[in-house]
C-alpha cells in the first residue's frame, strides 16, 4: 500500500510578502515580444527567460513541477509521516515565514549547475543552505 507521503527536501526562508516569496521560488518570465518582433529579438528574449532565483541560488537544474511554496509550518508538518521529524520541525522552524518543498524525485533536481560538477544522474551533491535559504533537511 502506498501512502500520500513522499520524500522531499525542505528549505525555510523569510520573505516580506507572499509576492516576494513567489518571485523567488517560481520561474519569472518577461512579457513575450510583440508579434512584429524580429527573429533576433525573439531569440534574445528566449535567452533571457525564464529567470529563476531559487534554481540559480541553489545551483541546481530543477524541474519546476516538483517545487512547492508553503506559507505555514502547519502545512509542511501535515506532509511529514514521522512524528519525530514533525516534532523536530515544530521546534526548529518557527523563525521562517515561508517554506520551499522540493521533491526528492530524481527528476526534480536533475543536474548540478556548478561549472566543475559532474552531470551524472542522480545528482550526488546534497542541497545546502544559501544566503536566502536555510536547508532544514530531507523528510519522509
Q: SS3 helix, strand, coil % of the chain, rounded to 5?
A: 30, 20, 50
User: And the C-alpha cell for 112?
Assistant: 548540478
Q: Report pLDDT for 10.
A: 98
Report the run of H or E that residue 60 belongs to, with start and end. Answer: strand 60-62
Whole-number percent of the chain with pLDDT over 70: 92
Q: What is the pLDDT of residues 61-100, one digit of tens each?
A: 899 999 999 989 999 999 999 999 999 999 999 999 999 9
Choice between 126 and 115, residue whose per-residue pLDDT is larger: 126
Query: Distance between CA atoms of 62 and 113, rounded to whole angstroms?
Result: 10
How is the chain split into domains, by residue range?
8-139
Query: Distance between CA atoms of 114 and 67, rounded to whole angstroms?
Result: 20
Q: What is the pLDDT of residues 22-48, one digit of tens each?
A: 999 999 999 999 999 999 999 999 999
| pTM metric for this prediction | 0.87
> Who's near 59: CB < 8 A, 6+ residues apart?
112, 113, 114
Residues in the chain: 140
Decide if pLDDT at 120 tops 70: no
pLDDT tier at 126 (50, 70, 90 boundaries)? confident
pLDDT tier at 1 (50, 70, 90 boundaries)? very low
Decide if pLDDT at 108 tops 80: yes
Cβ atoms of 68 and 100 within 8 Å: the answer is yes
Q: Report pLDDT for 71.
A: 83
Amino acid at each position: 500500500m502506498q501512502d500520500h507521503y513522499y520524500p522531499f527536501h525542505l528549505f525555510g526562508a523569510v520573505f516580506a510578502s507572499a509576492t516576494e516569496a513567489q518571485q523567488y521560488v517560481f520561474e519569472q518570465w518577461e512579457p513575450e515580444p510583440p508579434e512584429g518582433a524580429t527573429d533576433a529579438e525573439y531569440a534574445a528574449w528566449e535567452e533571457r527567460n525564464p529567470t529563476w532565483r531559487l534554481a540559480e541560488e541553489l545551483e541546481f537544474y530543477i524541474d519546476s513541477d516538483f517545487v512547492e511554496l508553503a506559507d505555514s509550518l502547519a502545512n509542511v508538518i501535515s506532509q511529514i509521516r514521522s512524528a519525530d521529524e514533525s516534532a523536530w520541525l515544530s521546534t526548529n522552524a518557527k523563525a521562517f515565514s515561508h517554506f520551499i518543498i522540493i521533491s526528492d524525485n530524481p527528476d526534480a533536481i536533475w543536474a548540478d549547475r556548478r561549472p566543475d560538477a559532474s552531470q551524472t544522474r542522480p545528482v550526488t551533491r546534497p542541497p545546502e543552505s544559501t544566503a536566502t535559504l536555510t536547508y532544514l533537511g530531507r523528510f519522509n
